[in-house]
Structure 1
């Protein structure tokens, strides 16, 4: 039979047309032996819902969901007991049909029991666009709107995944054991997209950072160094450039009022028994900002999409943890289901939620098994929360030279006195600062002694310490000038930088002073089990001097913080319950040994970390 060129052309056009009907398939693949064996595959394309659908290999389709938008089709299959293989979905409309492959991949051995980050870690928070530019070829992308412009403070500066990989040795030398990077999924906003919190595709790494494969390689390179990768996950909102916002699966995929309404940001409405329903709605459902459409986690399709996406990234990139942005702005029932689904799949996986509140009881409400939320029979299932009240104490305390009833070191004592409100104080994220707050060194005008005091408390207290990139070399930045000033480029991360703080030889004398102190302190902490899990016993500050102990059955560390302007002599009889079996203490930084007889002397605005013998 002779086939004309016309027939071939028509056939090719038909094939291209039918395959073009599927523009998106999410997740792009799944894994065998998952606890969540039912996977809901989203197919997106012009009038895709008008097709009938079947799947190969006797796989059971348990549900087909169509919405008011015919461009979406949600197909649920059960992958239980299915080994790694390629399935074939067949779409049929009349006599026309076409297929789409869907791969079930082999899962990593013991993936479900992966170890996550905990109090033995020190987390290094960085913003990839501002850390280091390892590949200038991806500074801009023809597929994305905003181009690189390093001269613009709020523009894209070109930092990327390759830049992080090239400087992992620096982070490891510092003593950090984990990296929390602000989001790296695609953000196609026209401007101010460098922070990447307005994501436009949550299955795709932003091309200006690199590729999905490069992100996976970052995790692999970190694991070679026994380091952990924590992904910043955003459940509350996407960006207005997200492809789903431009063609919504359902009207209520995003919260509608109709259209836009601003959040009132009053997170207390989530549990306030006196709160009006109106106020609670505008906290949970209101948009964070106009450019960030608010996701509706009470819609089962939305919630399942977010659960599958989070699990997919853990498996795909071999992640070690999540930090969840604006956790307490989500629908609280929906976010609890999201969190539980992940921790059911990965029992030891740690997730820390941003709960930016200024009261321990209110923060505690959002931690798993909280004694506070239990009153309302609510459980978020969230293992960790961010200790913002401790951050508040760090804010000005080292400028409070003359202690009063409420000022000075008593702020730290009062903060830790409320630990009974938490289910697990050791799993709180503690920090001097982050990418949204004022820079610690800016607040204290780069007073190195005050930096030492802050870092000493951070490194020796209960919880998981997180440091913010650049502070370890003295970087500052004025939040009053805008967020870009607290998110400056790391010196040495770009070709042509005259100051390269990534190398010892390239650091200034001041940078070296900050780095060397931080390195010694954090590397000491790395192997101190008593600091990671030991009990905290502290004493009411006197004369602006705060004394506390971290101890277990085999070892004890005594920490003395003198926040006054005067040299002090500390009478040791007061601490007998913690000192009775010890005769001396060796300072971990100076290596000076102190006899624990009657008193010890400590200089003004200084500290001691004594390993007791």
Structure 2
């Protein structure tokens, strides 16, 4: 009898297939923290039907001005894994039925641990990293085709290419992988960056499949690394299928003239003196012509992107989000979105892009901020990006003259404002990313300046992030040559590349490896990152800093059982440190080892440090 019912069930579904074009989320899980799920059903004139779901309580049905949509809210408490039938009825008769599945939840899913200050995050642009599958460089499902000769075109990098080189990342010392978005972007040009997404439930076919993305997570976890998804809440792409047929007029922010660009003044979000028109111009203006601004104050839209984010965490087994343009969203809506995710996964981590140039303004956006509390706002966002430190490291190593406010004092002053942040260890640090000039372009391939920059990024408080290719000295200037120049292909990521920077210069492989210059950048990065993996003082220790004298900046990272002394000499001349000044940091310790040079150092005596050099001294 059971087999007959199963056949009949399949027959019903197959006969009615096509009545609904989409149900999203496409499936869900039993045993989730939240017992509420809102199904979006889309199909021609679908709202005319009455709806029942066998064995499940429907708590709300929302129909909009667009009859092609209906939103069904259901109670999922105690719903077992398996399939159920959604019946669409007309005149009390079932017109057609659709199958919907609840999957068994991954064991321990709720307790997944996000990235933290023990990690080093490696950022890639997948289209420019490595091409592991030549067959998907162009795809029938998407408009733009591969053209590697075009700096702003698709180059063919994909998920398989990333998987093929995970051992390289692990060997380098990275412990977390952040990829710029991989979801479908069907714009006719510049679709490679994938920030103008056209389907939130589908990996772009030129990168691979949803299963490939899940496989990436599995392979990442095998290496004890973490996978972070770049999530975009503020805008979608103009070719998104829902933008082509809006569920509601206020699904996106619309303007009388059609398109109005954001004024990008994020300060209007909290400025007590801001005019309403300027605040609206930031939050509701479009990021670009191909990126409609989403209305997070619309509860249907907010539910949609919240469930989509949770779906990807659960489906792909993710360890974190980096949220693009976080502070451009409706701030109440994005706080609800963030809280819902953190309620579902209390140990998860989310870092928001808050591209501002003042510590108080950035700290406003971190969870439990006392600054945000002034206007009763709490974003619930665990982590923000340290753009003020980025501002400092991109200029201070070229500032050699005596000055009150230039050179290494910029780093010192940045950290004097740490008291503004509720959780200073949960701050993302970086010298560059996919939107900034390459750090080695700024410092003209000076390996000593690279070492000073990265010594600071890798050893101060917070979570370091390195941009792909910086570890081999890659260059790029977006101001002169556009975004494509800072997003160059990683050498060796394509089968026809003449050499591969994924392998050392001494490799016996047929393809040539890193050049001597590239090897120097790589060797330093690898050495420090792999040492960092085991340093509890760097992961969890407090920061004790000293005012820079003569462009020499000294600070300590320390716990009860471990002390690290960091010295950065940005002076163009050799310097000698009077060690009696640092007794508070040394705590009576007399010997140490510089992990950069493997040199034993007597810290009870004055230390000589060469010009434009850094030291990381593990005190013993």
Q: TM-score range by the shorter chain?
A: over 0.9
2:129 is equivalent to residue 150 of structure 1: no
**Whole-Å Cα distance in 1 between the matches of residues 382 and 588 of structure 2?**
36
Please point out which of 577, 583, 587 is paired with 1:580.
587
SS in 2 for 1:20: coil
Structure 2 partner of 1:161: 159
Structure 2 partner of 1:84: 81
Runs of 4+ off more than 6 Å = 14-17
Is 1:586–1:593's contact at 8 Å kept on the other side of the alignment? yes
Structure 2 partner of 1:21: 19
Deviation at 1:93, TM superposition (A): 2.2
Q: What are the within-5 Å matches in structure 2 for residues 480-491 of structure 1? A: 480=479, 481-491=481-491
Structure 2 partner of 1:291: 290
Structure 1 partner of 2:502: 502
Please point out which of 525, 535, 549 is paired with 1:528.
535
Is 1:21–1:47's contact at 8 Å kept on the other side of the alignment? no
Please point out which of 213, 219, 222 is paired with 2:220.
222
Is 2:13–2:97's contact at 8 Å kept on the other side of the alignment? no
**Whole-Å Cα distance in 1 between the matches of residues 82 and 521 of structure 2?**
53
Is 1:61–1:78's contact at 8 Å kept on the other side of the alignment? yes
Structure 2 partner of 1:452: 451
TM (normalized to structure 2)?
A: 0.95
Deviation at 1:18, TM superposition (A): 4.8
**Whole-Å Cα distance in 1 between the matches of residues 586 and 427 of structure 2?**
28
**Whole-Å Cα distance in 1 between the matches of residues 390 and 427 of structure 2?**
12
**Whole-Å Cα distance in 2 between the matches of residues 511 and 100 of structure 1?**
57
**Whole-Å Cα distance in 1 between the matches of residues 89 and 137 of structure 2?**
43
Structure 2 partner of 1:212: 210
**Whole-Å Cα distance in 2 between the matches of residues 507 and 16 of structure 1?**
56
Structure 2 partner of 1:237: 235
Is 1:67–1:250's contact at 8 Å kept on the other side of the alignment? yes
Task: Note the aligned Cα RMSD (angstroms).
Answer: 1.1
TM (normalized to structure 1)?
A: 0.97
**Whole-Å Cα distance in 1 between the matches of residues 330 and 425 of structure 2?**
27
SS in 2 for 1:143: coil
Structure 1 partner of 2:61: 64
Please point out which of 31, 36, 44 is paired with 1:38.
36
SS in 2 for 1:240: coil
**Whole-Å Cα distance in 2 between the matches of residues 18 and 166 of structure 1?**
42
SS in 2 for 1:194: helix
Structure 2 partner of 1:181: 179
Q: What are the within-5 Å matches in structure 2 for residues 391-540 of structure 1? A: 391-480=390-479, 481-504=481-504, 505=507, 506-540=513-547
2:262 is equivalent to residue 263 of structure 1: yes
**Whole-Å Cα distance in 1 between the matches of residues 361 and 603 of structure 2?**
41
2:578 is equivalent to residue 571 of structure 1: yes
Please point out which of 39, 46, 70 is paired with 1:73.
70
Deviations 1:8-60 (A, max 9, x none): xxxxxx9989532211110000111111221101110100111111111x210
Is 2:19–2:96's contact at 8 Å kept on the other side of the alignment? no
SS in 1 for 2:425: helix
Unmatched tracts of structure 1, length 5 or more = 1-13
SS in 2 for 1:295: coil
Deviations 1:72-119 (A, max 9, x none): 011111110111111110112245611111101000111111011000
In the alignment of these two chains, the number of paired residues is 599
**Whole-Å Cα distance in 2 between the matches of residues 435 and 175 of structure 1?**
20
**Whole-Å Cα distance in 2 between the matches of residues 352 and 403 of structure 1?**
37
